[in-house]
Structure 1
Amino acid sequence: MTSPQKRIYAARLAGTRVFDPIGDMVGTVRDVVVLPQVHGAARVVGFVVEVPGKRRVFLPATRVTAIDAGQVIMSGLLNMRRFEKRSGEMLAIGDLLERRVTLLDGSGEAVVEDVGLEQNRHRDWELTKLHLRRRKGGSFSRLVSRGESLTVPWRSVAGLFGTQAEQSAALLLASYQDLKPADLGEIIQELNPKRRIELAAELSDERLADVLEELPEDTRVEVVTGLDARRAADVLDAMDPDDAADLVQELPEPVAQELLDLMEPEEAEDVRRLLAYDEYTAGGMMTTEPLIVAPETPVAHCLAMISREELPAALASTVHVCRSPLETPTGKLLGIVHFQHLLRERPDRPVGEILDPDRHTVEGAAPLSAVTREMATYNLVSIPVVDDDGRLLGAVTVDDVLDHVLPDDWREQDEPVPTTTGQIDLSEIARGIGRSDGEG
């Protein structure tokens, strides 16, 4: 580092862009890695940097040449291996903020709101100051919002690195509020079991449902069984039926039955219907909530349906036209209309007049290999699932297929599955999938 610099605060540093020596942005600072010392201040050993693709990597402090004017300048190249804390290391934001400490002057307890970092005479960064919020009578609330604010040397408190209460899950969650479910799921996997449950308890039912769908089997079972049964049932209600069925199937039988009994009757019925199928069949993979309309429905209404923000892209790609009733299992499936076709038609035209002439369906008992081959052969994003009488039971989407053909631990792998073009070719998967569902 070129010259001593003024004090910086970790929470304010979060979000700062990192640039290489020629001015190209390489990522964004998300946390500061500190190593407590037996004697002396905690030393900054590096920074957690989020690079494109939401991967979090480690930037050694020795590679940082300047922190100035809202930017961090680094030298050399970043190691793209996913960041993992080493023994003894702590995260300034992830571990220390909202930690309860005791002031050594006898004035009581306080909560850490930020940590100040400064360079010593050797130009190494150290944790030197703490910005605190002192307790103002009574007990601490989850997030202390009142009381005296003060900045003190780190030596003025006890419990900063000891066995004091852990960081508030609410504050930790606030620092990750803008993350997509898959990225938040990756962070949850890196927490210890106790912290996972604490963080899960702070998430809304809908947010936790989205995150659970991104977690590996053992982790989501751990989270769900760690929640109160009523709360766990509410989260299952908020999940897509096919994902809820997959999760229920992974739970111990007594737990699964208890949660099904606590779920909303309609939601539980959808899950039970899916549990009747083998996991690696169209019925076991399908969602029971595809977009369904009557043949007289105008194109404009269909476009309004697929434009809903909460609707997954794969489901929004296709409108299923059926006779009443318009819920699965429905009356007979008349056909489908793809969203691109809807865009080309006049708004008042009934969808029954523009059905796709190429009709592709599978039965609920169809094995995974048959579903994959059908979708790959005809470049389908989703495919309807029907019974022997042609009634619509649900739809299998491409994301459902990928969840079943990728390795069980694909979410935990540092690198994407290698392919020739960087994209997954379903036709290649279809040719090699026979062994996964019992075929030769």
Structure 2
Amino acid sequence: MAAFGSRVFVSHLAGVAVFDPNGDQVGRVRDLVAMLRLAGRPPRVLGLVVEVVSRRRIFLPMTRVTGMESGQVITTGVVNMRRFEQRPTETLVLGELLDRRVRLVETQEEVTVLDVAMAQLPARRDWQIDKVFVRRGRGGALRRKGETLTVEWSAVTGFSLEEHGQGAENLLATFEQLRPADLANVLHHLSAKRRAEVAAALDDDRLADVLEELPDVDQVEILGKLQEERAADVLEAMDPDDAADLLSELPEADKERLLGLMRPRDAADMRRLMAYEERTAGGLMTTEPIVLLPDATVADALARVRNPDLSPALAAQVYVCRAPDETPTGKYLGTVHFQRLLRDPPFTLVSSLVDSELAPLSPDTSLPLVTSYLATYNMVAAPVVDESGSLLGAVTVDDVLDHLLPEDWRERELHSADVPGMRGAAGGG
């Protein structure tokens, strides 16, 4: 990170912490707001889009920034907490300029924007974008091997036009360390066009994780813009309960087409989950808990628990059942909690450790009773068993919270509360 008065490449600012003069963290930089100008004049940087602790995005004018160094941004301490709203004359630098195809003025050669740099004007707090880092080549191997060069802003043309088919490689590289919930926040605030481009560039597993964190309307929009075969692959990569919830939001014809493209096992899980009422244990459960046969050992159980793809709630216990060991299983025998696994020798059979006294949930247990069950017994997940004694799945505390919060809680979390009034005269979103 450069000191004030130096040049800063904007990708280096993504995710950087913002502090007030007392050293208290205000939030993190998620984008920059610029105003494009005519006749090749460098754009003026109006300010930063900062995500504060509540995940609300606010606008921080550059006039409030007193330093950018040592991997942090320092402000004057005066921060307006009104929600950021992009104006028609403004451009989001990370979200809209990176990956754009532009032309070199001198040769008319088409190049891809990898990054842009901004510099502070002498003796002022104003900043402007004055350099563009580009790569020659059209994409694929050429994009990776093409020559890179840094040119003046005036040496390229094409930023003022909305690009169709704009890539997302460099935007994703900028945010590759974000958690799925934070990347979902980034996607939610992009234009529909950019959101589709970024979703198309994510691999199936990453997109599945991000979709689970988005509001229903964003999920349906993104899924609808994917090729049907890929949409089915992404649904298979999602947690079964989340995928079933998303499928239930689709028109019946679309839902059946996607189910027909999924693996039979995954499609059967989806249909089974959608058959239950939404606010019951059956409608809330995931069909992929950790299931072990009675002759499995503590070592076997701990190996399964170590799976990094498991949520903490699902990794908190294993369920011991007779064959088959995929839901719906053979007879459910009981639960072994993670702490118990840590207290016994690795060769111990899990069947000797089961907690069989705690009654499992039935699939038609209502949401209030599921909530009471988890709270009463201090559980983060609970088994769901049918009348025949087969384990159908497990309800986790995060799924319960999803349904206890208001239906639009994800939109509220991503948008936060809107506060009437205008932004300060310093400009920006």
Confirm or deny a common fold (TM above 0.5).
yes
Equivalences for 1:136-215 in 2 at 5 Å?
Answer: 139=138, 144-165=143-164, 167-215=166-214
The verdict on how the C-alpha distance between 1:414 and 1:285 changes in structure 2, with shifts beyond 3 A counting, is closer
The verdict on how the C-alpha distance between 1:94 and 1:195 changes in structure 2, with shifts beyond 3 A counting, is closer
Contact 1:131–1:149 at 8 Å: present in 2 too? no
Taking only the aligned residue pairs, the percentage that are identical comes to 50
The answer for the alignment partner of 1:67 in structure 2 is 68
Return the letter of the residue paired with 1:329.
P
Equivalences for 1:37-436 in 2 at 5 Å?
Answer: 37=37, 40-52=41-53, 56-68=57-69, 70-121=71-122, 123-133=124-134, 135=136, 139=138, 144-165=143-164, 167-414=166-413
CA positional deviation for 1:116 = 2.9
Q: Distance in 1 between matches of 2:163 and 2:366?
A: 53
The answer for the alignment partner of 1:36 in structure 2 is 36
CA positional deviation for 1:265 = 0.7
Superposition RMSD in Å:
2.7
Q: Distance in 1 between matches of 2:81 and 2:288?
A: 39
Contact 2:280–2:365 at 8 Å: present in 1 too? yes
Provide structure 2 residue ranges, at least 5 long, that are not aligned to the other structure. Answer: 418-429
Return the letter of the residue paired with 1:129.
D
CA positional deviation for 1:202 = 1.0
Return the letter of the residue paired with 2:395.
V
CA positional deviation for 1:30 = 3.9
Q: Distance in 1 between matches of 2:73 and 2:289?
A: 47
CA positional deviation for 1:259 = 0.5
CA positional deviation for 1:140 = 5.2
The answer for the alignment partner of 2:7 in structure 1 is 7
Contact 2:289–2:314 at 8 Å: present in 1 too? yes
Q: Distance in 2 between matches of 1:21 and 1:205?
A: 42
- Using the TM superposition, name which of 294-303 and 60-69 deviates more: 60-69
CA positional deviation for 1:367 = 1.8
- Using the TM superposition, name which of 337-346 and 8-17 deviates more: 8-17
TM-score, reference length from structure 1 = 0.85
Contact 1:330–1:393 at 8 Å: present in 2 too? yes
Query: Greater relative contact order (Cα 8 A, min sep 6): structure 1 or 2?
Result: 2
Return the letter of the residue paired with 2:342.
L
Instruction: Give the match's secondary structure for 2:313.
Output: helix
Q: Distance in 2 between matches of 1:309 and 1:4?
A: 41
In the alignment of these two chains, the number of paired residues is: 414
The verdict on how the C-alpha distance between 1:315 and 1:127 changes in structure 2, with shifts beyond 3 A counting, is same
Q: Distance in 1 between matches of 2:414 and 2:101?
A: 38
Contact 2:121–2:128 at 8 Å: present in 1 too? no
Contact 2:56–2:415 at 8 Å: present in 1 too? no
The verdict on how the C-alpha distance between 1:232 and 1:16 changes in structure 2, with shifts beyond 3 A counting, is closer
Return the letter of the residue paired with 1:261.
G
The verdict on how the C-alpha distance between 1:251 and 1:124 changes in structure 2, with shifts beyond 3 A counting, is same
Q: Distance in 2 between matches of 1:89 and 1:262?
A: 42
CA positional deviation for 1:269 = 1.0
Contact 1:132–1:149 at 8 Å: present in 2 too? yes
Contact 1:287–1:396 at 8 Å: present in 2 too? yes
CA positional deviation for 1:80 = 4.3
Deviations 1:142-164 (A, max 9, x none): 97344454444323332222334
Contact 1:94–1:167 at 8 Å: present in 2 too? no
CA positional deviation for 1:258 = 0.5
- Using the TM superposition, name which of 49-58 and 7-16 deviates more: 49-58
Q: Distance in 1 between matches of 2:416 and 2:161?
A: 41
Instruction: Give the match's secondary structure for 1:144.
Output: helix
Deviations 1:60-87 (A, max 9, x none): 1111123345543321233445544233
Contact 2:114–2:135 at 8 Å: present in 1 too? no
Deviations 1:320-358 (A, max 9, x none): 111222111111111111111111112211121122253
Instruction: Give the match's secondary structure for 2:143.
Output: coil
Instruction: Give the match's secondary structure for 1:274.
Output: helix
Instruction: Give the match's secondary structure for 2:258.
Output: helix
Q: Distance in 2 between matches of 1:108 and 1:275?
A: 53
Contact 2:95–2:194 at 8 Å: present in 1 too? no
Q: Distance in 2 between matches of 1:167 and 1:81?
A: 31
Deviations 1:118-159 (A, max 9, x none): 3335614343523243645xx555973444544443233322
CA positional deviation for 1:238 = 1.1
